[in-house]
Structure 1
Amino acid sequence: MTQARSTSAPAAERVEWVLCPACGWLLYGKRLDRNMHVCPECDHHLRLGARARIDLLVDPGSFTETTFPPGAPDPLTFIDLREYPERLQEAARRSGGSEAVVVGTARLGGADVVLAIMDFAFLGGSMGVEVGRRVSGAAALALERGLPLVTVCASGGARMQEGVFSLFQMARVSHAFGRLREAGLLSVCVLTDPTYGGVSASFATLASVLVAERGAHIGFAGPRVVQETIRAELPRNFQTAEFLLEHGLVDRVESRAELRPLLIRLIALHGAAAPPAPVPGDDGPAPAEPHSASGHQDPWEVVERARVVDRPTTLDYLHTAFDDFIELHGDRAFADDPAVVGGIASIGGRSVVVIGHEKGHTVRERVARNFGMPHPEGYRKALRLLEHAEASSLPVVTLVDTPGAHPGPEAEERGQSHAIAEIIMRSSRLRVPVVAVVTGEGGSGGALALCTSDRLLVLQNAYLSVISPEGCAAILWRTATAAPTAARAMRLGAAHLRESGIATSVVAEPPGGAQTDPMAAARLLRSALVRELDDLAGVEVADLLDARARRLAGIGDDARPLRTLQPAAPLGSRP
Structure 2
Amino acid sequence: MAEREHPADWERCAGCGALVYGKRWTRTLHVCPDCGHHGRLTAPQRLDQLLDPGTAEPLGAVPALHDPLGFVDSRPYAERLDRARADTGLDEAVLCAAGTVEGQPCVAAVMDFRFLGGSLGCGAGALVTHAARTALDRRVPLVLVTASGGARMQEGVLSLMQMAKTAQAMAELDEAGVLTVSVITDPTYGGVAASFAALADVILAEPGARMGFAGPRVVEQTTGETLPEGFQTAEFLLAHGMVDDVVPRVGLRPVLGRLLGLRTPTGPLPPGDADAILRAADDLAGCDPWQGVRLARHPERPSTLDYVRRLVDDFQELHGDRLTEDCPAIVAGTGRLAGTPVVLIGHHKGGSDLGERRRRNFGMAGPAGYRKANRLMRLAAKLGLPVVTLIDTPGAHPGPAAETGGQAAAIAENLRLMARLPVPVVAVLIGEGGSGGALALAVADRVLVCANGTYSVISPEGCAAILWKDARAAPAAAASLRLHPGDLLGLGVVDGIVPEPPDGAHRDHAAAADLLEAAVTAALHELIPWDPERLLADRRARFHRYGTGDRTGPTAADWSQS
Q: TM-score, normalised by structure 1?
A: 0.93
What does 1:61-210 align with in structure 2 at a 5 Å threshold? Answer: 61-210=54-203
What does 1:324-363 align with in structure 2 at a 5 Å threshold? Answer: 324-361=314-351, 362-363=353-354
Give deviations 1:509-530, integer Å, cap 9, x for gaps.
0000111111111111101111
Indicate how the Cα distance of structure 1 residues 569 and 467 shifts in structure 2: closer, same or farther if over 3 A, else same.
same
* DSSP 3-state at the match of 2:203: strand
CA distance in structure 1 between the partners assigned to 2:167 and 2:8 by the alignment: 39
Contact 2:62 2:127 in 1 (8 A): no
Q: Match of 2:559?
A: 572
- Match for 1:294 among 274, 277, 284? 284
1:305 correspondence with 2:305: no
CA distance in structure 1 between the partners assigned to 2:264 and 2:101 by the alignment: 12
Q: Which amino acid aligns with 1:314?
A: T
* DSSP 3-state at the match of 1:551: helix
Q: Match of 1:441?
A: 432
Q: Which amino acid aligns with 2:278?
A: E
Q: Match of 1:7?
A: none
1:22 correspondence with 2:22: no
Q: Match of 2:513?
A: 522
Q: Match of 1:450?
A: 441
Contact 2:277 2:499 in 1 (8 A): no
Contact 1:441 1:463 in 2 (8 A): yes
Give deviations 1:233-278, integer Å, cap 9, x for gaps.
001100000000000000010000010110011111346769999x
Contact 2:264 2:383 in 1 (8 A): no
Q: Match of 1:250?
A: 243
* DSSP 3-state at the match of 1:326: strand
Indicate how the Cα distance of structure 1 residues 566 and 196 shifts in structure 2: closer, same or farther if over 3 A, else same.
closer
Contact 1:155 1:199 in 2 (8 A): yes
* DSSP 3-state at the match of 1:570: helix
The offset of 1:288, in angstroms, is 3.9
The offset of 1:295, in angstroms, is 2.5
Q: Match of 1:370?
A: 361
CA distance in structure 1 between the partners assigned to 2:441 and 2:343 by the alignment: 13
Q: Match of 2:457?
A: 466
Contact 1:403 1:442 in 2 (8 A): yes
Bigger shift: 285-294 or 181-190?
Answer: 285-294
The offset of 1:70, in angstroms, is 4.5
CA distance in structure 2 between the partners assigned to 1:546 and 1:94 by the alignment: 61
CA distance in structure 2 between the partners assigned to 1:28 and 1:566 by the alignment: 70
Contact 2:364 2:395 in 1 (8 A): yes
Q: Match of 2:260?
A: 267
The offset of 1:377, in angstroms, is 0.6
Give deviations 1:380-435, integer Å, cap 9, x for gaps.
11111111111111111100000000111111101111111110111011111111
Q: Match of 2:232?
A: 239
The offset of 1:546, in angstroms, is 0.9
CA distance in structure 2 between the partners assigned to 1:287 and 1:82 by the alignment: 74
Q: Match of 1:10?
A: none
Unaligned runs of 5+ in 1: 1-12, 278-283
* DSSP 3-state at the match of 1:168: helix
Give deviations 1:3-56, integer Å, cap 9, x for gaps.
xxxxxxxxxx99322221211112222211111100111100011100000111
Contact 2:279 2:495 in 1 (8 A): no
Contact 1:285 1:524 in 2 (8 A): no
The offset of 1:95, in angstroms, is 1.8
CA distance in structure 2 between the partners assigned to 1:180 and 1:525 by the alignment: 35
Unaligned runs of 5+ in 2: 1-5
* DSSP 3-state at the match of 1:210: strand
The offset of 1:364, in angstroms, is 1.1
Indicate how the Cα distance of structure 1 residues 274 and 535 shifts in structure 2: closer, same or farther if over 3 A, else same.
closer
Contact 2:269 2:525 in 1 (8 A): no
- Match for 1:487 among 466, 473, 478? 478
Q: Which amino acid aligns with 2:179?
A: L
The offset of 1:467, in angstroms, is 0.3
Indicate how the Cα distance of structure 1 residues 321 and 274 shifts in structure 2: closer, same or farther if over 3 A, else same.
farther
Q: CA RMSD in A?
A: 2.1
CA distance in structure 1 between the partners assigned to 2:145 and 2:519 by the alignment: 40
Number of aligned residue pairs: 553
Bigger shift: 305-314 or 261-270?
Answer: 261-270
CA distance in structure 2 between the partners assigned to 1:46 and 1:285 by the alignment: 55
Indicate how the Cα distance of structure 1 residues 494 and 571 shifts in structure 2: closer, same or farther if over 3 A, else same.
farther
Contact 1:290 1:508 in 2 (8 A): no
CA distance in structure 1 between the partners assigned to 2:65 and 2:276 by the alignment: 69
CA distance in structure 2 between the partners assigned to 1:447 and 1:72 by the alignment: 54
Indicate how the Cα distance of structure 1 residues 290 and 574 shifts in structure 2: closer, same or farther if over 3 A, else same.
closer
* DSSP 3-state at the match of 1:152: strand
The offset of 1:73, in angstroms, is 1.9
Bigger shift: 318-327 or 396-405?
Answer: 318-327
The offset of 1:347, in angstroms, is 1.2
Give deviations 1:345-403, integer Å, cap 9, x for gaps.
21122111111000011101100000000011100111111111111111111000000
CA distance in structure 1 between the partners assigned to 2:7 and 2:429 by the alignment: 60
Give deviations 1:154-192, integer Å, cap 9, x for gaps.
000000110101000000000000000111101111000
- Match for 2:223 among 230, 239, 242? 230
* DSSP 3-state at the match of 1:539: coil
Indicate how the Cα distance of structure 1 residues 421 and 69 shifts in structure 2: closer, same or farther if over 3 A, else same.
closer
Q: Which amino acid aligns with 1:462?
A: G
CA distance in structure 2 between the partners assigned to 1:23 and 1:230 by the alignment: 30
The offset of 1:96, in angstroms, is 2.1
The offset of 1:462, in angstroms, is 0.3
CA distance in structure 2 between the partners assigned to 1:14 and 1:431 by the alignment: 61
- Match for 1:215 among 185, 208, 220? 208
- Match for 1:501 among 488, 492, 507? 492
Contact 2:62 2:130 in 1 (8 A): no
The offset of 1:572, in angstroms, is 1.7
Contact 2:542 2:553 in 1 (8 A): no
CA distance in structure 2 between the partners assigned to 1:178 and 1:522 by the alignment: 39
Contact 1:59 1:110 in 2 (8 A): yes
Q: Match of 1:317?
A: 307
CA distance in structure 1 between the partners assigned to 2:554 and 2:123 by the alignment: 66
